[in-house]
Structure 1
Amino acid sequence: MVKSTAGAHLFVGFNGTEFGRDLMAVIREFRIGGLVLFRRNISSAGQLRELLKDVQLYSRETLGRGTLIAVDEEGGAVQRLHPALPWLPSALETARSGSDAVIHSARTVAKRLKALGIQINFAPVLDVVDDPEGHFLGSRSPGAVPERVARLGRLWIETFQSLGVSATAKHFPGLGKAALDPHHRLPVVETEDPARLEDQLLPFRHAVAAGVHAVMTSHALYPAWDPERPGTLSAAVNRGILRDRLGFQGVLFSDDLDMKAVSGRIPLRDVAHWGLEATVDGFLVCQRPENVEPLYAALYDAIRAGGSARDLHEASMKRLQRLLSFHF
């Protein structure tokens, strides 16, 4: 039983635009929970629609269930479906245009994803960024005022999910005060007083209250909350704050574990153990397919060992099943 469900934690990136043997093998051998799309997988809307139909048919035949499909479709610099589909303005530009523009953008994106067979959008970005021009997130953030980010983020989430596509609030507990990009290095958010980080939490508090289906972690280190483990792998951050304090009961995704903030710094056995302890449900492996098998093995070993890891795995499977049931 453990072997057949450990892979459900994995959300995997892949190469190519066709449903070939490599992708079949990943689904069949590791019984993954989901796929993550990038521009390298998309040549046209028609091609993508057929690819995802093939994925779901094979998943149902092989796994007896659907496979969740996720994408980062934020607008602006981060939209995987362009140029297959028309370009959309960034989160910052949309936010500056006001509530009606946010609702229009959310409707547009949700309808596109629904028509293509995509169930999850890894958006909206809810990081509060004081200086978009000087910060690595740039225009991906809706702005510098926590209350405004919270209000517009909630509008986006509610509009999106009303159309049947799951939203993902990211990057919890906030990258706005991080100076380094976790794609390349480990950011450290320095402050001795956790109260100084409360403004970063406000948009996520509103997202949880809005019933957001998913949250994505931040790879930054927050010494005021956990001096040893980055946010993605921190039980103090994800269990203590997100789940226990804010009351989030949905699916928690890691950010891409192939980012340099984690990859090569933390052994995969620790990623598996610490991630489960932190109540991470979906472990993303997006850029390095060779990491899928060893992370699967690490998760399998952690769960098989029993104890708290097995209990946490079983609780996680219930959260993932609820999300799966929403879409299939």
Structure 2
Amino acid sequence: MKRPDGPGPLMVGFEGKAVPSRLARQIREGTVCGVVLFSRNVEAPRQVRDLCREIRAAAGGGRPAPLVAIDQEGGRVTRLAAAGFTPFPPARCYSLFCCRASRVACAVGETMAEELRAVGVDINFAPVLDVDSNPENPVIGDRALSSNPESVAELGIAFFRGTLSRGVLPVGKHFPGHGHTAADSHEELPVVRSSRATLLARDLHPFRRAIRAGIPALMTAHVLFPALDREFPATLSEKILGGLLRNRLRFRGAVVSDALEMKAITGRFGIGTAAVRAVSAGCDIVLVGRGEKDQEEAAEAIARAWTDDWDFRKGAPASTRRVSRLREHLSRVGREDPPARRASLRQVGTRRHRELSRLLFDHWESSGQASRAGRSGNIGEG
């Protein structure tokens, strides 16, 4: 079988505010398909724009430019927090607007995407589609839109439609649901022992609705669900990503793993083994956010699997097509959508953006939830 055209499935992060020579080489050689940015890469809007241009230029003329992604949820998960960017409170605040909540969620999705597009970011790892069903959850909390599955679905769809309308690709997370966990997957492997029926009715409801509404990509959860797969967490589970997501829910978009260097994965699997297993299970993009050694190990393991493992190779063409469709969508929006086409630094921190931000912060702070909803620090930051 001929190796499909296009970069490999690896998306990586890096240290600093300029493209390291190692990353430039990986992009040029097609080892990586994308780059994820964190706060450690961000200084100011113009610097981020120049950095994104530098990332794309590293591909040269012979390969597709790498996709540039970021986590910009608002609240504790805000990577573009430098001066000039518009801050927002946690996503939980949208529900405070009652009958206007969906309009507010859509407006925030539009606003965030306008600023992301202006500096050259293609993908936002948001919205969070997890249902906040466990008050002891240490990692989701106010990141969740609601504790009600239907509210999560409605607000998540509104947010992702707003994001798409401004030329940025939204990624719903963390499939099939991280809301009922009692452990932090950055530190250990959470286990959710709910029945299959409960998972389908509660956790999967927002994802099912978002899939029907056309969300282009989903991110996986590093969570073990014994009712769905007794052996592997969702990120590494063919039963969950293949049987449930692809076959039962008929999702045709791209699947992105959560960061494989998290201890939920590395505490049990080597990073190379995990990368190969994630791709085999159904991930189209595997994310390793930091650690040059881990990133090299993942890349080498994927290359070996391509050479030695027929089962690994046979899924590659379809996976490559799904990632290519993400690129095609970005290209199409850039041609057809006037707001996306006009993206420039003038769209960062505008008066309209600041007024929306102030409105949300006023509601959030007056609600009394600001002091109790957040249950952890800045999630997953390096």
| TM norm structure 1 | 0.94
Q: Which residue of 1 aligns with 2:206?
A: 203
Q: What is the CA–CA distance in structure 2 between the aligned matches of 1:264 and 1:187, rounded to whole Å? A: 12
SS of equivalent to 1:212:
coil
Q: Which residue of 1 aligns with 2:162?
A: 159
Q: Which residue of 1 aligns with 2:74?
A: 75
Q: What is the CA–CA distance in structure 2 between the aligned matches of 1:219 and 1:65, rounded to whole Å? A: 29
Q: CA deviation at 1:3?
A: 9.6
Higher relative CO (CA 8 A, sep ≥ 6), structure 1 or 2? 2
In the alignment, structure 1 residue 319 sits paired with structure 2 residue 318:
no
Segment of structure 1 superposing worse, 249-258 or 78-87: 78-87
Q: CA deviation at 1:2?
A: 3.8
Q: CA RMSD in A?
A: 1.8
Q: Which residue of 1 aligns with 2:256?
A: 253
Q: What is the CA–CA distance in structure 1 between the aligned matches of 2:71 and 2:219, rounded to whole Å? A: 11
SS of equivalent to 1:167:
strand
Q: What is the CA–CA distance in structure 2 between the aligned matches of 1:160 and 1:241, rounded to whole Å? A: 26
Q: What is the CA–CA distance in structure 2 between the aligned matches of 1:16 and 1:44, rounded to whole Å? A: 13
| Letter paired with 1:17 | K
CA deviations on 1:272-327 (whole Å, 9 max, x unpaired) are: 34212211011100021211111111111112224221111121111111112222
Could you tell me whether the CA contact under 8 Å between 2:257 and 2:285 is conserved in 1?
yes
| Letter paired with 2:8 | A
Q: CA deviation at 1:247?
A: 0.9
Question: Measured at CA, do residues 287 and 268 of structure 1 come closer, stay the same or move farther in structure 2, by a change above 3 Å?
Answer: closer
Could you tell me whether the CA contact under 8 Å between 1:30 and 1:296 is conserved in 2?
no
Q: What is the CA–CA distance in structure 1 between the aligned matches of 2:158 and 2:143, rounded to whole Å? A: 17
| Letter paired with 1:104 | A
In the alignment, structure 1 residue 276 sits paired with structure 2 residue 279:
yes
Q: Which residue of 2 aligns with 1:194?
A: 196
Q: What is the CA–CA distance in structure 2 between the aligned matches of 1:182 and 1:269, rounded to whole Å? A: 19
Q: Which residue of 2 aligns with 1:16?
A: 16
In the alignment, structure 1 residue 122 sits paired with structure 2 residue 125:
yes
Q: What is the CA–CA distance in structure 1 between the aligned matches of 2:4 and 2:319, rounded to whole Å? A: 15
SS of equivalent to 1:89:
coil
Could you tell me whether the CA contact under 8 Å between 1:3 and 1:300 is conserved in 2?
no
Q: What is the CA–CA distance in structure 1 between the aligned matches of 2:124 and 2:320, rounded to whole Å? A: 20
Q: What is the CA–CA distance in structure 2 between the aligned matches of 1:182 and 1:104, rounded to whole Å? A: 31
Q: What is the CA–CA distance in structure 1 between the aligned matches of 2:34 and 2:159, rounded to whole Å? A: 23
Q: CA deviation at 1:213?
A: 1.1
| Letter paired with 2:118 | A
Q: Which structure has the larger Rg over C-alpha atoms?
A: 2
Could you tell me whether the CA contact under 8 Å between 1:107 and 1:159 is conserved in 2?
yes
Counterpart pick for 1:229 among 222, 229, 232: 232
Q: What is the CA–CA distance in structure 2 between the aligned matches of 1:288 and 1:44, rounded to whole Å? A: 24
Task: Work out the percentage of aligned pairs sharing the same amino acid.
Answer: 38
Q: What is the CA–CA distance in structure 1 between the aligned matches of 2:171 and 2:144, rounded to whole Å? A: 14
SS of equivalent to 2:25:
helix
1:18-33 map, 5 Å:
18-29=18-29, 31-33=31-33
In the alignment, structure 1 residue 300 sits paired with structure 2 residue 299:
no
Give the ranges of 4+ consecutive aligned residues of structure 1 lying more than 6 Å apart after TM superposition: none
Q: What is the CA–CA distance in structure 1 between the aligned matches of 2:315 and 2:223, rounded to whole Å? A: 23
State the aligned residue count. Answer: 325
Q: CA deviation at 1:131?
A: 4.8
